Amino acid sequence: MLKVPSLSLSALCLRLVVVVFCVGLFACDDSEETGETISLNCAGEVDTGSTTISISGYAKDGKTGSKLSGAVNLYNSTGNTLLDNSSVSSSSKYSFSNLTPSTYVLKSVITDYVSVADTKCLTSSSTSKDLIALTTAQATNANVIVLTWGDSSSGAPKDLDSHLQASDGSPSTAHIKHNAKGSSSDWAILDIDDTTYSGPETITVNLDSTSGPMQKSVTKACYYVRIYPSSGETSSDWVWSKTSAQVQLFQSDGTLLTNFDGPTDTRTSKTYWHVFDLDSNLNITTKNTVSSSVPSC
């Protein structure tokens, strides 16, 4: 008779602790033994696979809003394993389905555009996960701030507004916004003001050189987003948790420097989101606060 060695209770508990530690911190994969991959959701917990989601969207030019043609690749959270790919064009969206809620990397591959890897925590299905791309020329001697949000089917408000406020210097337009767009010869310009869903809404920050400083002697700039009340909407529509907002900051070669996911706040009175500040050397100070009044700079 084959004898199975017994384990003491303390030894068994120790093994369980090791397994939990491995899964929780290192996303251990048992595929070598079973051929199955352990999937983690955005909270770092093992996903049972009982829920699946789908995502789709366009690839868009961040400076013009034009829909682009090419391909979109989908990777797991490590960025190493290609899970799928999908074509995209000016008339059709990329699309991925049967995904477990988790963190994924979406990467657009568009001729003449800088390929940008966009990391997203996907917890529910969406038809408005648009991807933004720039050409190198579009970002030369500039930082480009791109705001996107949900479409009408997602329950998002129609209009989010980008604001960039200079605290000093000599800009002709110190506060860049929908009714004061600035110009290409000034320190910044609002390239696109999108008033009906999704974006992009884009501000270009002009620099003296590739690495800065900002033009017109501006040494500090504050960027925030406002939910703009639109006709046909009520105050219950003006909450950040419904926006699916994302802000991306591109550097002067067209690559993505950093991104910020919108707040999950559900209060109707907090319609301002102070995202970040920039100093003269383009150092970023993350704010990520919501308020009922204009943020101070």
We report the CATH number of the domain holding residue 199 as 2.60.60.30
| Structure confidence at residue 77 (pLDDT) | 80
Report if residue 212 sits inside a domain.
yes
Residues 247-264 have pLDDT tens digits of 999 999 999 999 999 999
Neighbours of 81 (CB within 10 A): 12
Report if residue 198 sits inside a domain.
yes
| Structure confidence at residue 41 (pLDDT) | 56
160 and 271 share one domain: yes
- Statement: residue 279 has pLDDT above 60: yes
Higher pLDDT, 2 or 56: 56
Q: Which of 73, 104, 133 is the last residue of a domain?
A: 133
Rounded Cα distance between 226 and 207, Å, is 25
Identify each DSSP E strand in the chain by its residue range: 53-57, 59-61, 70-75, 82-88, 94-99, 102-109, 117-122, 131-133, 142-148, 159-166, 175-176, 188-192, 201-206, 220-228, 246-250, 256-261, 272-279, 284-291
122 and 139 share one domain: no
- How far CA 53 is from CA of 50, 101, 223, in Å, comes to 10, 7, 33
Q: Which of 117, 133, 149 is the last residue of a domain?
A: 133
- Statement: residue 1 has pLDDT above 60: no
Report if residue 230 sits inside a domain.
yes
How large is the average pLDDT for residues 271-287? 96
| Structure confidence at residue 43 (pLDDT) | 54
235 and 245 share one domain: yes
Rounded Cα distance between 227 and 240, Å, is 8
79 and 102 share one domain: yes
Share of the chain above pLDDT 70, in %: 84
171 and 281 share one domain: yes
Residues 232-250 have pLDDT tens digits of 999 999 999 999 999 999 9
- Statement: residue 163 has pLDDT above 60: yes
Q: Which of 68, 98, 133 is the last residue of a domain?
A: 133
Least confident stretch, 4-8, 83-87, 89-93: 4-8
Q: Taking the alpha carbons of 182, 273, 292, 278 in that order, is the dihedral positive or negative? A: negative
125 and 156 share one domain: no
| Structure confidence at residue 153 (pLDDT) | 87
pLDDT band at 6 (very low <50, low <70, confident <90, very high): very low
- Statement: residue 144 has pLDDT above 70: yes
89 and 224 share one domain: no
68 and 144 share one domain: no
202 and 75 share one domain: no
- Statement: residue 276 has pLDDT above 90: yes
Higher pLDDT, 84 or 18: 84
Structural domain count of the chain:
2
Rounded Cα distance between 13 and 17, Å, is 6
| Structure confidence at residue 85 (pLDDT) | 85
57 and 145 share one domain: no
Report if residue 14 sits inside a domain.
no
297 and 156 share one domain: yes
- Statement: residue 94 has pLDDT above 60: yes
Look up the pTM and report it.
0.83
Provide the CATH number for the domain around residue 54: 2.60.40.2190
- How far CA 193 is from CA of 19, 200, 276, 295, in Å, comes to 51, 8, 20, 20
State the residue range of the domain holding 197. 135-297
Report if residue 11 sits inside a domain.
no
| Structure confidence at residue 76 (pLDDT) | 86
- Statement: residue 174 has pLDDT above 90: yes
pLDDT band at 71 (very low <50, low <70, confident <90, very high): very high
Higher pLDDT, 76 or 177: 177
| Structure confidence at residue 15 (pLDDT) | 39
| Structure confidence at residue 84 (pLDDT) | 76
161 and 272 share one domain: yes
The mean pLDDT of the chain is 85
How large is the average pLDDT for residues 218-223? 97
Who's near 218: CB < 8 A, 6+ residues apart?
A: 166, 167, 168, 169, 171, 187, 280
Contacts 24+ apart (CB under 8 A), 227-230: 227/157, 227/159, 227/160, 227/271, 228/157, 228/158, 228/159, 228/160, 228/161, 228/178, 228/195, 229/271, 230/157, 230/158, 230/159, 230/195
How large is the average pLDDT for residues 61-79? 92
3-state SS class at 247:
strand
> In Å, how far from its chain's centre is CA 72?
16
How large is the average pLDDT for residues 41-57? 72
- Statement: residue 27 has pLDDT above 50: no
